[in-house]
Structure 1
């Protein structure tokens, strides 16, 4: 645990909690570096990482006051480079990143939602990209959210400087679920626990496929070839499929923990 990041490790997964509530969890240099350090430490150890936040606001973006102070002292503004590296680390990390979005996610906070693999939002959550009002394009949060949106929805997000409420974010495909605030972190942990129970090689190859699939799936033949190639990579790393097939033959299908037993 650092002064700005709370770290909790469980069996096969971890939870990283932004812990600057007085600063609305703005990403200053210390928090960016702490996140990068912990994510690197979790390579090969965690199949899933939950990203949560302490306080009413999920993340208010980069710490602009720190950036202004650096400029005033004549220091190089390295925030964009550091933030780009962290965003890429989250997207390319072998673990599944599950974001528990409680409250407002502004700018870089919205990027955290966009680069994650799964996102559970509280019913009072919202996303906002204020960069146009600040004289720039949302250079990270724009590209990670635009592919999920129609052109008009992307334009609204980039230009309106208004909150996109959780219900709209769900309808737009920016989050997976919307739940009461006090259940969000537990739900994210439930998903992380389930994913941690899968064979790690399977999880890593599925995550790899999430980003490589769109370019491969130009037609049906390409789509089928892609699916077979993913499974060949999985089978070259693990015998999980054979083990599960043998278990299925003797025990029958597994039931989801959320499935009603009645």
Structure 2
């Protein structure tokens, strides 16, 4: 059941359906560029979602023919001083980090093109479902502005030589190539994109919210650690997880051959 459907700052549309929130970028004439206004609207919604325990999954979608064209180049060109550029790129980094640190999983729903910081947005999400006609690129090198911040997310998702080829040539890759590289998790037809993404979000939302939160945080922390440190850390996380009421309920339900009733704590 949809609980809310509203425009936020004329940049995005928010839709709450049960425990899943869909944030749809809604500036198709601007190719859903990550302007300061768009990033501020997304950050505002994500911060609200982070504090909402009843929300257990987020879908990031877009209206129009393009998912996201990256930074608003007219906005960048209109900034005449270094501090202004630094503030804009810092805001973008804050947005990407908010996605990674959000307690709830974030699923990108991609159609059309995702370029530069738009590709970074895809790479920053926990999962990404793309239509089979979607394309991805980091073409900053073509305009004299290397995709340095998109590189951070991209290089943490795909192999180095694949990342460098995208960054050095600016050439777009297909959805099939993106899936083979590990940039996206699923490919579906254009007609199935919204349904497939919603189904995936709903399956995740059925899990224990506290367990998913523990697991997402642990995933991103351990992946940057040396192997031995990662095992030590993951062991401590599992020990803490084992003490939660949902772990007791889930294990008990498995043993008793019944469906668990999650308390999300």
Superposition TM-score, scaled by structure 1 size: 0.88
Structure 1 residues 37 and 118: alpha-carbon distance in aligned structure 2, compared to 1, 3 A threshold: same
1:209 deviates by 1.5
Superposition TM-score, scaled by structure 2 size: 0.87
1:76 matched to which residue of 2? 84
Matches within 5 A, 1:147-186: 147-186=156-195
Q: Which runs of 5+ in 1 are unaligned?
A: 255-262
**Cα distance between partner residues in 1 of 2:42 and 2:97:** 12
**Cα distance between partner residues in 2 of 1:223 and 1:75:** 38
**Cα distance between partner residues in 2 of 1:171 and 1:191:** 20
Q: Are the counterparts in 1 of residues 108 and 125 from structure 2 also a CA contact under 8 Å?
A: yes
Alignment pair present for 1:14 and 2:21:
yes
Alignment pair present for 1:57 and 2:66:
yes
Q: Are the counterparts in 1 of residues 140 and 147 from structure 2 also a CA contact under 8 Å?
A: yes
Q: Which runs of 5+ in 2 are unaligned?
A: 1-6, 261-265
1:258 matched to which residue of 2? none
Aligned residues, how many? 250
1:180 deviates by 0.5
RMSD: 2.1
**Which fold has the larger relative contact order, with Cα–Cα distance below 8 Å and residues 6 or more apart in sequence?**
1
Deviations 1:144-187 (A, max 9, x none): 11133333212211011111110000000110111111222222
SS in 1 for 2:256: helix
1:48 deviates by 1.3
**Cα distance between partner residues in 2 of 1:202 and 1:115:** 21
- Residue 102 (structure 1) aligned to one of 104, 111, 128: 111
**Cα distance between partner residues in 1 of 2:96 and 2:230:** 28
**Cα distance between partner residues in 2 of 1:205 and 1:63:** 35
Q: Are the counterparts in 1 of residues 68 and 115 from structure 2 also a CA contact under 8 Å?
A: yes
- Residue 25 (structure 1) aligned to one of 32, 46, 62: 32
**Cα distance between partner residues in 1 of 2:223 and 2:84:** 37
